Amino acid sequence: MEAINIENINKIIVNLVNTSSDKQLYAQIVENAVEIIHASYGKLFLYKKGRLRKMYYSDIKVKRNTLILDKTIRKLFSSDTILTLTKSELENRKITHFPNDITFVIIVPLSYAKETLGFLFLYFTQHKETLTQVENELLTLYRHYSVLALTKATLKEESQNALEIRDRFIAIASHELRTPLTSIHGYIQLLHARLKNQDSIEARWIQELYIESFRMTQLVKELLDVNRIKQGQFAFVFSEVPMLEIVTRALDRYRLAHAAHPFLFKSNLIKQQTMVVGDFDKLAEMVSGLLGNAVKFSKPGEKITVKLSATTSLISLEVKNTGNGIAKKDLTAILNGFYKPDYTSHLEGMGIGLLLAQHIIKNHRGKLKIISKKHEGTTVTVSLPLIKTN
């Protein structure tokens, strides 16, 4: 038999490990092994929910009339070594259910950390009685990478399942929290309006309650919005809206809730110069999210600069802080949501502000740009198309 060369085996292994779908992976495991060892057919069994199931067969001849994993065969699997059985050995062990033309079988256990994931069967119709040393080494090498690919696929599936469970929990929890939080925040607003001009300990307590209830209400709203985005139900109601008003309103709220942070607003634009086609509430949520991130990544007393500027076709909102900044390697992950770098794990929030902002900006035909460096602060710039005026 002509052995497959090392260049081909490397290509096979790379393709195997990088296969994306489970079906393709199962097919490649079998077909590659058949090619490597010059077998006639191949078949893959894997344990799924405690049962050994057929996942792929390379030829219609082995669809049914192939080795059935009865108790006699299972005893052979106590060892993690590659097993070979000639036709006479199969007959002596009274193992049947083979096509008549099968003369030799190789059984390759696929195991990881003392756990058997499944078995790869390779069948020969040509005369063969043993594995050569080269064939055994090739199969041993290939087996390790097959197990690696299967383990990777399993971990990916478990990760996806965990994310689905997380998303379901967030959706349910957010809906359940929304109604009582709305009532609590409403009553706190009434108390705050009545006591805000008083210099008393009760007034200070209400001020703190107002800030925290507002923060909790915003968090639940963000979680609900993320769930709507995932379900394709994050609807927009477009009209002509002034960005100047949206930004100044958001700034007023944040100046009240975060008095320790000096906000510097720069703009020489008037309302008519900042008109965009957009959803007022969604754009307000986007601006609030950017201001919230600037506060989160800054220490009390550090200046946060907010700037509005415009060209003939675009309006730009720039939010700049001088806080800790974000490492370049973390920027992409942060935009994907539910991600917090180790150096921000102590900060409040769930890491979804920029995910929401990015989605809102995209649906307004705008662009989001982030320039950040560790220990030097972050500048976030949003550009949106202006309504053209004569």
The pTM of this model reads: 0.52
Q: Check residues 295 and 384 and name the one with the higher pLDDT.
A: 384
CATH 3.30.450.40 residue ranges of the chain are: 6-158
- The pLDDT value recorded for residue 128 is 84
147-160, pLDDT tens digit by residue? Answer: 888 888 888 877 77
Distance CA 244, CA 259 (A): 21
Structure tokens at 2: 């002509």
Domain 6-158: what homologous superfamily? GAF domain (3.30.450.40)
Q: How many helices (H) and strands (E) does the chain have?
A: 10, 12
- Amino acid identity of residue 320, one-letter, is K
Confidence of residue 221 (pLDDT cuts 50, 70, 90): confident
Burial class (CB in 10 A: 0-12, 13-18, 19+), 361: buried
Q: Classify 377 as helix, strand or coil.
A: strand
Look at residue 136 in the predicted model and tell me its pLDDT. Answer: 85
As a whole number of angstroms, the longest Cα–Cα distance in the chain is 98
pLDDT band at 243 (very low <50, low <70, confident <90, very high): very high
* Contact criterion met (CB below 8 Å) for 139 and 107: no
Question: pLDDT by residue (tens digit) across 82-126?
Answer: 888 888 877 776 665 666 778 888 889 888 877 888 889 898 988
Task: Give the pLDDT of residue 2.
Answer: 46
pLDDT confidence band for 292 (50 / 70 / 90): confident
Stretch(es) of the chain classified as CATH 3.30.565.10: 235-390
Q: What is the CA radius of gyration of the chain?
A: 32
Pairing of strands 304-310, 263-266: parallel
pLDDT digits (tens, 9 = 90+) for 167-189: 777 667 766 777 788 888 888 88
| pLDDT above 60: residue 326 | yes
Sequence-ordered strand ranges (E) for the chain:
41-48, 51-57, 83-86, 104-112, 115-124, 239-242, 263-266, 275-278, 304-310, 314-321, 367-373, 377-385
Question: What is the third-level CATH fold of 235-390?
Answer: Heat Shock Protein 90 (3.30.565)
- Indicate the pLDDT class of residue 293, thresholds 50, 70 and 90: confident
Using alpha carbons only, give the angle 156, 161, 166 rounded to the nearest 5 degrees.
Answer: 125
Q: How far is CA 91 from each of CA 69, 86, 101, 348, rounded to the nearest angstrom?
A: 15, 9, 13, 69
Q: Dump pLDDT digits (tens) for 247-289.
A: 999 998 888 777 778 889 998 888 888 899 999 988 998 998 8
